[in-house]
């Protein structure tokens, strides 16, 4: 049965039409509209006996990019995965110049490299490397990986608010002020979260970034508090162009893990992902891409036996552009003696 399921996934990927690269463009009223989307279908299997081998519609998103003129544009991106409708990137943008753009709505916080990278580009299937049925990381649950900590602690991921971004020469920046409560969730207090990120193109194909954040939360005494986060990234190469290396280190306050004095614990995490895209010449296959990920996360640096490590070998087969099928084996182990793994196979349709 499992073999039939995997065969079905491969068959779906093989029949992805080349026409999927085209995007619909229409004009009407006072704006032009460009429509595209993505559909990611996944099968995951965990080594935990209590976890179910699962088929899931991981992402079903349609993106409408709206252009009024050179100054005013917008994006609306609903997601229908899981049979529910949830808005993702949804914002209005005012472009004063390439150095200054202002956006209001819902978008990704200005934080780490791996969250800022689109799911249509990433070679790792799940950013956090989750193992179905496993909750091992103090405060945040799931596995102690880089992205699990940054996402669950509210430093990375989408939120509602305002954003400034722009670039000049080799320097680019982003700054966000948001509710701090995440996707499609109203604010829970009168405080706001702040994030800032600066990227420098050190040379062709080499980019260095640094980021800081203050995430607001309500503590156990119902008081507004702020958790600090920081990080630094290195990126060498580009998508679908030979070698790509992405590395990052981050740390800050694990506000979901409080001590008796309501002081947040300190966390640290680091991650490196290396992939190599090799172009193929053929009527059906455009390229092949092996990858390796190593991630380490410690939810409480003052404690012992908390650290977890995640190792992910993977392989992607590209049909055209961002249309592909791939497999990741997420192998997780912790200082507490936990050792589990998850096999994920996913098709990526991009149109």
- pLDDT above 70 (res 326): yes
Confidence at 3, pLDDT banded by 50, 70, 90: very low
Q: pLDDT digit string (tens) for 246-305?
A: 999 999 999 999 865 668 899 999 999 999 999 998 888 999 999 999 999 999 999 888
Of 299, 266, 112, nearest to 196 (Cα)?
112
Q: How many residues does this entry show for the chain? A: 351
Q: Do 193 and 159 form a contact (C-beta atoms < 8 A)?
A: yes
Strand 339-350 relative to strand 171-178, pairing: unpaired
349: left (phi over 0), alpha (psi -120 to 50) or beta: beta
Tell me the residue ranges of DSSP E strands in 219-350: 224-237, 242-258, 264-279, 287-298, 308-320, 323-334, 339-350
Helix (H) or strand (E) holding 17, with range, is none
CA distances from 48 to 17, 148, 296, 332, 339 (A): 37, 19, 21, 12, 10
What's the rounded Cα separation, in Å, for the pair 49 and 52? 8
* Confidence at residue 9, expressed as pLDDT on a 0 to 100 scale: 46
Give CA torsion, residues 96, 163, 62, 246, to 10 deg.
110
Average pLDDT, the chain: 92
3-state secondary structure (DSSP) of residue 126? coil
Q: Which residue has the higher pLDDT, 222 or 326?
A: 326
Phi, psi of 284 (to 5 degrees): -120, -30
Q: pLDDT digit string (tens) for 193-239?
A: 999 999 999 999 999 999 999 999 988 888 899 999 999 999 999 99
DSSP β-bridge partners for residue 219: none
Q: Do 231 and 246 form a contact (C-beta atoms < 8 A)?
A: no
- pLDDT above 60 (res 21): no
CA distances from 291 to 250, 273, 294 (A): 22, 7, 10
Q: pLDDT digit string (tens) for 103-124?
A: 999 999 999 999 999 999 999 9
Confidence at 23, pLDDT banded by 50, 70, 90: low
Q: Tell me which residue has tokens 């299937």.
A: 125
What's the rounded Cα separation, in Å, for the pair 105 and 109? 11
Confidence at 6, pLDDT banded by 50, 70, 90: very low
Q: pLDDT digit string (tens) for 127-178?
A: 999 999 999 999 999 999 999 999 999 999 999 999 999 999 999 999 999 9
- pLDDT above 50 (res 14): no
- pLDDT above 50 (res 1): no
Instruction: Cite the DSSP H helix spans in 118-212.
Output: 146-152
Q: What is the CATH number of domain 2-22+40-55+98-350?
A: 2.40.160.10
- pLDDT above 70 (res 5): no
Spans of all domains in the chain: 2-22+40-55+98-350
Q: Do 281 and 287 form a contact (C-beta atoms < 8 A)?
A: no
Q: Do 142 and 134 form a contact (C-beta atoms < 8 A)?
A: yes
* Confidence at residue 305, expressed as pLDDT on a 0 to 100 scale: 87
- DSSP letter string, 66-92: EESSSSEEEEEEEE-GGG--EEEEEEE
Strand 323-334 relative to strand 193-203, pairing: unpaired
Q: Do 269 and 150 form a contact (C-beta atoms < 8 A)?
A: yes
């Amino acid at each position: 049965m499992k073999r039939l399921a995997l065969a079905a996934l491969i068959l779906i990927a093989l029949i992805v039409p080349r026409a999927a690269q085209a995007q619909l463009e229409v004009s009407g009223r006072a704006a032009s509209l460009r429509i595209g989307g993505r559909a990611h279908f996944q099968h995951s299997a965990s080594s935990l006996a209590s976890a179910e081998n699962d088929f899931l519609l991981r992402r079903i998103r349609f993106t409408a990019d709206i252009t009024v003129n050179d100054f005013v544009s917008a994006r609306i991106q609903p997601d229908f995965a899981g049979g529910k409708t949830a808005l993702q990137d949804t914002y209005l943008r005012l472009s004063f110049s390439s150095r200054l753009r202002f956006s209001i709505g819902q978008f990704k916080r200005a934080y780490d490299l791996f969250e800022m990278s689109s799911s249509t580009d990433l070679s790792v299937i799940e950013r956090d490397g989750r193992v179905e049925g496993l909750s091992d990381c103090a405060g945040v649950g799931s596995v102690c990986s880089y992205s699990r900590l940054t996402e669950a602690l509210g430093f990375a991921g989408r939120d509602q608010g305002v954003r400034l971004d722009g670039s000049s020469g080799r320097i680019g920046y982003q700054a966000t002020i948001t509710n701090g409560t995440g996707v499609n969730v109203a604010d829970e207090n009168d405080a706001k979260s702040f994030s800032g990120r600066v990227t420098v193109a050190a040379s062709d194909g080499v980019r260095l970034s640094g980021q800081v954040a203050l995430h607001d939360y309500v503590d156990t005494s119902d008081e507004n508090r702020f958790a600090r986060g920081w990080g630094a990234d290195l990126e060498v190469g580009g998508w679908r162009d030979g070698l790509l290396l992405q590395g990052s280190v981050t740390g800050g306050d694990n506000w979901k893990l409080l001590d008796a004095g309501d002081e947040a614990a300190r966390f640290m995490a680091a991650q490196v992902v290396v992939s190599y895209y090799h172009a193929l010449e053929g009527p059906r296959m455009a390229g092949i891409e092996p990858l390796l990920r190593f991630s380490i996360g410690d939810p409480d640096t003052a404690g012992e036996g908390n650290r977890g490590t995640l190792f992910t070998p993977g392989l992607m087969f590209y049909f055209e552009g961002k249309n592909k099928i791939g497999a990741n084996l997420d192998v997780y182990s912790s200082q507490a003696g936990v050792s589990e793994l998850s096999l994920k196979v996913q098709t990526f349709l991009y149109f």
